[in-house]
Amino acid sequence: SRSLYLDDAKSTGIKAKLENGVLSIIVPKENKPNKSVKIDIE
């Protein structure tokens, strides 16, 4: 078994399918606001 942590993955909407011996997993990405901060320089 393998584990993988995805920081920006949505927990809802995950889909998986097994076709011809190939496992495909679709994990939607969560839109997070940009953490940049604007600083005024005098």
Phi and psi (nearest 5°) for 23? -90, 120
Could you tell me which residue, 36 or 30, shows the higher pLDDT? 30
Q: Assess whether pLDDT exceeds 90 at residue 30.
A: no
Residues 9, 24: Cα–Cα separation, whole Å: 16
Residues 32, 10: Cα–Cα separation, whole Å: 11
Average pLDDT score over residue span 1-10: 84
The model's pTM is: 0.57
Residues 41, 6: Cα–Cα separation, whole Å: 36
Mean pLDDT across the chain, nearest whole number?
Answer: 87
CB 17 within 8 A of CB 34: no
**Coil vs helix vs strand at 28:** coil
